[in-house]
Structure 1
Amino acid sequence: MTFGKIKLGITVLAAGILVAFVTLFLTSTHAFRSSELTIPKISLEATYVEYGTVDALDSDAELIVIGTPLKDFDDRQHIVTTFDDGNIQDFYTLTEIKINKVIKAPEAATLAVDDSLTIIEPISYIENVEGKKKITYEDYTELKQNQKSIIFLKKNTQGQYSIINMDLGKFSLDTLSQPLSTLAKNQDPKVEFRKSILERYDLK
């Protein structure tokens, strides 16, 4: 066997390994995304303080930040508590965010840019004999990893910062280049509220 044939064989082998690796990566990525999309979602009604105006939301929020979740939703800590009979008592997710900007904070707070903060989102995962499901209050959707958002928070009875006003208590800033008219029509109230938020805090 000549040196040229050996070199050609090594090149073909390397190319084959590369193709196999890329195929495996794309397959696994596709599988993950497919499974994520097929997880059923259960939305429950909740009793909570609803803020119909930005002024009311701003006034009652103890902490307002622009922050970015550090982990994918699947990798966060999902908490579900149950009663003695097995029925769900409460659920939430602990989401760690990096603070990009502090807009409003208590005087005693020591939060600064690039600090991390763990907050509570009203959403989680449950698993039973029927499989894995996403459970949420008032159709709340989780903050997305690496997506910068303005977030309105208030401490709960355990002293943990929780998102208030459900889905109208956090708004992504990574979609600012997207015209508001292109957002889902069934989210018109959120579109208008988001527009008011952007104007109030000069985030346009």
Structure 2
Amino acid sequence: MTFNKKIKLGISVLAVGGLIASGSLFFTSTNASPKFSELNTPKISLEASYIEYGTVDELDSNAELIVIGTPLQGFDDRQHIVTSFDDGTIQDFYTLTNVKIDKVIKSPEGVALNAEEPLSIVEPISYIKDAGSKKKIAYEDYTELKQNEKSIIFLKKNTQGQYSVINMDLGKFAIEPSSQSPSISGEKQDSKEQFRKSVLEKYDLK
């Protein structure tokens, strides 16, 4: 990720910096559609300090790479990274998601992406084992990109040189949300949907 944040987990407050690609948990699946485990796994949401972009123009201006892409794997099949301090408390976490690039809207000058190769991006969500059971853990209630669901994704390189989703859940939007996409009731959902419509309108994706 591209931000510094503080995690409050139990009674521990951990100062967290950039992502460190070490220590990983893997979970496998052979199904193309979301599995029961993906849709019903308990989720822990943690607060994060990050740069928030409140308008589409701000989001566009600050993204280094904007693509329309489709995740190739279900969430269970992706590479889930969790790093810990020496005492075992969680330091950081994220998921590496392989995305098939359907269209590049914006890219750094002089950088040409190969549409034939998937792009590995960082999402601020992962799996952990807590009290013997598997749980999702995410920053700011982030929801992962869905397999086979085409989305517009706003990205920026983190300190490790990986492209990361920026602006949390307002940094990626399904162009045509599937029935498997989670729904959030109330004002938060209305605000996100309005932002999504503004994004689709700006890039003529309606």
Which moved further from structure 2: 121-130 or 32-41? 32-41
Aligned partner of 1:116 in structure 2 is 118
**Structure with greater strand percent:** 2
Q: Is the 1:101–1:112 contact (alpha carbons within 8 Å) kept by the matching residues of 2?
A: no
Aligned partner of 1:55 in structure 2 is 57
1:12-91 → structure 2 map (5 Å cutoff) = 33-91=35-93
- The residue identity in structure 2 corresponding to 1:69 is P
Gaps of 5+ in 1: 1-28
1:155-166 → structure 2 map (5 Å cutoff) = 155-166=157-168
Instruction: Please report how far the alpha carbon of residue 89 of structure 1 lies from its aligned counterpart in structure 2 after TM superposition.
Output: 0.3
Normalization by structure 1: what TM-score?
0.78
In structure 2, relative to structure 1, the CA distance for the partners of 1:36 and 1:113 (3 Å cut) is: closer
CA distance, structure 2, for counterparts of residue 36 and residue 100 of structure 1? 25
In structure 2, relative to structure 1, the CA distance for the partners of 1:80 and 1:183 (3 Å cut) is: closer
Q: Is the 2:38–2:76 contact (alpha carbons within 8 Å) kept by the matching residues of 1?
A: no
1:92-107 → structure 2 map (5 Å cutoff) = 92-107=94-109
CA distance, structure 1, for counterparts of residue 91 and residue 173 of structure 2? 28
Gaps of 5+ in 2: 1-30
Aligned partner of 1:185 in structure 2 is 186
Aligned partner of 2:18 in structure 1 is none
Aligned partner of 1:197 in structure 2 is 199
- The residue identity in structure 1 corresponding to 2:64 is E
Q: Is the 1:125–1:135 contact (alpha carbons within 8 Å) kept by the matching residues of 2?
A: yes
Normalization by structure 2: what TM-score?
0.77
Residue from 124, 130, 154 that aligns with 1:128: 130
Q: Is the 2:71–2:147 contact (alpha carbons within 8 Å) kept by the matching residues of 1?
A: yes
Q: Is the 2:152–2:173 contact (alpha carbons within 8 Å) kept by the matching residues of 1?
A: yes
**Structure with greater helix percent:** 1
Q: Which runs of 4+ in 1 moved over 6 A?
A: none
Q: Is the 2:96–2:121 contact (alpha carbons within 8 Å) kept by the matching residues of 1?
A: yes
Which moved further from structure 2: 104-113 or 136-145? 104-113
- The residue identity in structure 2 corresponding to 1:49 is I
Please provide the CA RMSD for this pair: 2.2
Percent identical across equivalent pairs?
69
In structure 2, relative to structure 1, the CA distance for the partners of 1:125 and 1:160 (3 Å cut) is: same
Instruction: Please report how far the alpha carbon of residue 153 of structure 1 lies from its aligned counterpart in structure 2 after TM superposition.
Output: 0.1
- The residue identity in structure 1 corresponding to 2:89 is N
1:140-159 → structure 2 map (5 Å cutoff) = 140-159=142-161
Aligned partner of 2:140 in structure 1 is 138
CA distance, structure 1, for counterparts of residue 69 and residue 112 of structure 2? 16
Q: Is the 2:127–2:137 contact (alpha carbons within 8 Å) kept by the matching residues of 1?
A: yes
Decide which structure has the larger Cα Rg and report it.
Answer: 1
Q: Is the 2:156–2:166 contact (alpha carbons within 8 Å) kept by the matching residues of 1?
A: yes
CA distance, structure 2, for counterparts of residue 128 and residue 188 of structure 1? 32
